[in-house]
Amino acid sequence: MKIPISLILMVLIFTPGPLLSADKENCLMCHKYSGMGRYETVLSGKGRKRIFYINKDLFKETVHGELRCKDCHSDVTKIPHDRVRKVDCAKDCHIQDPSSGKEFSHRRIAELLKKSVHGVEGTNNPRYRKDLPTCTYCHNNPLNTVSDSKDHLYFLNICMQCHEKEEWARRFLKHQFYRMGKRRSSKEIVALCSSCHENKRMMDRHKLDVVIGFRDTYHGKAIAYGNEKVANCLSCHAPRSLGFTPHSIVSKRDLRSPVNPANRLKTCKNRGCHPGATREFALGRKKIHPSGVEGLIKLASYRPPGGTENPSKGSDPPLPEALSEEVFHEKVVYWINTGYKIAIALIVGGMLMHQTLDFVATIRERRREEEEDG
Amino acid sequence: MGKDGREERYFIRMTRSERIQHLILMLSVGILVITGFMLEGERWVIESFGSAGETIFYWRGILHRIAGITLILLSIYHLYYILFTRDGRGWIMDMLPRLKDIRDFYHNLLYFVGLRKERPRFDRFTYQEKMEYFSIYFGVPIVVISGIMLWTEYMWNKFYLDIARAFHKGEATLAALAILVWHLLTVFFKPGNYPLNRTFIHGRISEKEVKHHHPLWYERLTGRREDS
């Protein structure tokens, strides 16, 4: 038996239910179905899975849970709708900014980002615009993950002395708590930054150093343990307490950058991390964590990324002086490590052989003694 | 009691002070090795600690520093012990490397492969024990100096810190493996010792063992040559 589509639609439309009550625009009529989605094989050829299912209860708990769908997806004018464009985070919202009375917008952040090394205007190579992170590459409409802690309830009581609606007060409070706390763990920040900055080909395209060894540094290991006090990427490249934000990161070659040698000492001392830091400590090496070409020891055969486009020319351009010093430093450390590896192999290997021979000889002796005794 | 009904005689191989020093050394080095190599673990091992990781990391650092300071103080005390106490001077005089040790080493190797009939006649300490002992003199300064540098990181050039880290890690790996292969393997598993050579607990060594393994020492102590 074949069921006509119109019948299914009729059933859907007239489905009564408290489930849809908050959904004034009726988007959940379709988007409440968890099977909703498709594979984008035909259009982009990438085979990406797209899920269009919206869990109403979960969405309500997100930072954007108060907004209506069309506030952001403004090009949807009819149901069923056509293909929708990507959401522009810099557009004006229908929510008022209580501080100015104007329509709220993320435009100011978008402008900052545009000028930063991650933006179209600040990047070294605007040709590869697609590599640049968009708002949604890092931000994903997170949940207001604030639990109903004791503090939270304490303050909620204070709110409720004047304000009538508890739901509103709870939401407002959650927003405050959420914004004041640390929203991402260091582990998440390292994973997020590494998702691009460990990609050598992408970094080469933008004439940036690929980050390779951060996770093996002391900071990296501490972060793996879950320590939140040691520096993650943002602590040095965009320290908020020194007035930087993650949206305005600039290249370390930029004089404004907190990791530029001109500002590095201040950055190391920041937040009580290394309060007694000396100039020696901050400026002793050009690179704080291994970055550059994979395995810095290979730097001897380093070619500036620009030079790789014409490999047929052969002769390598001479190393910049600063870089050759780095190569020397890295070589010293490399030879110490190698020296120890050889020493360990020889010494411990020799000991193991000596032990084996000694054990065999001792067993032989003991057998002989037993024979003599018996 | 021995087999022939006589009381078995013992010699003192480690004095009470030496046993306590050994105990402190054992504990501090054990803690240092464990808490130190926790920094070198693979990421999946570290992340398997889950939410306890932060606490573990905190105590790891504290314990490593306490054990490090203990090791430094112990080393200083030991220098005092070997210079200014009678037992200590006896210890270091017996420990000092001599030409005989090189000969012993060579002869022992020949004995292992069957080119000599007898083991070399060892004194109180064999060349193996002397090498173990003096490797501490070599290793501890390296790990202590590099460790203090890493502890006071803010005042050093990052280049020197990287060198310190390389030495600290390399020396620690070498020491840990050497202790495992030469010391622990011997005291636990060398035929005759299993399950454990308990000299480090009670400080005694039986007359039979002395005659057998340290005949020169036996001669020195008793004035008798033991050939049988």
Q: How far apart are CA A325 and CA A285, in angstroms?
A: 9
In this predicted structure, what is the pLDDT of residue B216?
A: 92
Best mutation target, B126, B158, B213, to test chain A (most A CBs within 10 A) = B158
Determine, for residues B154 and A268 on separate chains, whether the beta-carbon distance falls below 8 Å: yes
Determine, for residues B43 and A224 on separate chains, whether the beta-carbon distance falls below 8 Å: yes
Does position A203 have pLDDT exceeding 50, yes or no? yes
The alpha carbon of residue B114 is apart from the nearest alpha carbon of chain A, in Å, by 9
Q: What is the ipTM of this complex?
A: 0.90
The alpha carbon of residue B84 is apart from the nearest alpha carbon of chain A, in Å, by 33
Full DSSP string of B26-81: HHHHHHHHHHHHTTSS-HHHHHTTGGGHHHHHHHHHHHHHHHHHHHHHHHHHHHHH
What are A319's two structure tokens? 């190393």
Does position A153 have pLDDT exceeding 90, yes or no? no
Q: How far apart are CA B18 and CA B159, in angstroms?
A: 40
Q: How far apart are CA A207 and CA A123, in angstroms?
A: 9
* Range list of H helices, chain A: 5-13, 28-31, 41-44, 56-60, 69-72, 107-115, 135-138, 150-160, 166-180, 186-197, 200-205, 218-224, 233-237, 264-269, 279-283, 321-373
Phi, psi dihedrals of residue B119, rounded to the nearest 5°: -70, 155
Does position B209 have pLDDT exceeding 60, yes or no? yes
Give the best-scoring range by mean pLDDT among A10-19, A178-187, B94-103: B94-103
Instruction: State which residue of chain A sits closest to B132, comparing Cα positions.
Output: A351
Window 205-234 of A: residues touching B by CB (8 A cutoff) are 215, 218, 221-222, 224-228
pLDDT digits (tens, 9 = 90+) for A8-65: 544 444 444 444 445 778 888 888 888 888 777 655 566 677 888 988 888 888 888 8
Length of chain B: 228
Instruction: State which residue of chain A sits closest to B41, comparing Cα positions.
Output: A221
Nearest-CB residue to B181 (from A343, A351, A357): A351
The mean-pLDDT minimum among A317-321, B143-147, B183-187 falls in A317-321
Chain B residue numbers with beta carbons less than 8 Å from the beta carbon of A214 are none
Full DSSP string of A2-15: ---HHHHHHHHHT-
Chain A residue numbers with beta carbons less than 8 Å from the beta carbon of B163 are 332-333, 336
The separation between CA B170 and the C-alpha centre of its own chain, rounded to angstroms, equals 18
Q: How far apart are CA B190 and CA A46, in angstroms?
A: 63
Direct distance between the N- and C-terminal alpha carbons of chain A, in angstroms, rounded to an integer: 97
What are B198's two structure tokens? 């308990």
Does position A307 have pLDDT exceeding 60, yes or no? no
Q: How far apart are CA A361 and CA B191, in angstroms?
A: 10
Q: How far apart are CA A200 and CA A212, in angstroms?
A: 9
What percent of chain A is predicted at pLDDT more than 90?
21
Q: How far apart are CA A264 and CA A275, in angstroms?
A: 13
Query: Which residues pair with residue A49 across a beta bridge?
Result: A39
Best mutation target, A185, A198, A225, A365, to test chain B (most B CBs within 10 A) = A225
Q: Are A173 and A159 in contact (CB under 8 A)?
A: yes
What percent of chain B is predicted at pLDDT more than 70?
96
Nearest-CB residue to A336 (from B166, B189, B190): B166
In this predicted structure, what is the pLDDT of residue A123?
A: 83
Determine, for residues B154 and A277 on separate chains, whether the beta-carbon distance falls below 8 Å: yes
Kindly compute the dihedral angle of the four CA atoms of residues B126, B132, B137, B140, in this order, to the nearest 10 degrees. -170
Does position B220 have pLDDT exceeding 80, yes or no? yes
Window 121-180 of B: residues touching A by CB (8 A cutoff) are 128, 153-163, 166-167, 169-171, 173-174, 177-178
- Domain boundaries along the sequence of chain A: 1-83, 295-347
Q: How far apart are CA A204 and CA A267, in angstroms?
A: 27
Nearest-CB residue to B190 (from A275, A340, A362): A362
Nearest-CB residue to A343 (from B47, B174, B191): B174
The alpha carbon of residue B138 is apart from the nearest alpha carbon of chain A, in Å, by 14
Cα maximum dimension of chain B? 69
- Domain boundaries along the sequence of chain B: 12-95
Q: Are B188 and A318 in contact (CB under 8 A)?
A: no
In this predicted structure, what is the pLDDT of residue B227?
A: 57
Chain A residue numbers with beta carbons less than 8 Å from the beta carbon of B157 are 280-281, 284-285
Residue burial B160-172, b: 16+ Cβ < 10 Å; e: rest: bbbbbbbbbbbbb
In this predicted structure, what is the pLDDT of residue A6?
A: 53
Determine, for residues A281 and B186 on separate chains, whether the beta-carbon distance falls below 8 Å: no
Task: Identify the CA nearest to B177 among candidates A56, A329, A194, A345.
Answer: A345
pLDDT digits (tens, 9 = 90+) for B27-74: 999 999 999 999 988 888 888 888 899 999 999 999 999 999 999 999
Nearest-CB residue to B46 (from A224, A329, A337): A224
Instruction: State which residue of chain A sits closest to B61, comparing Cα positions.
Output: A222
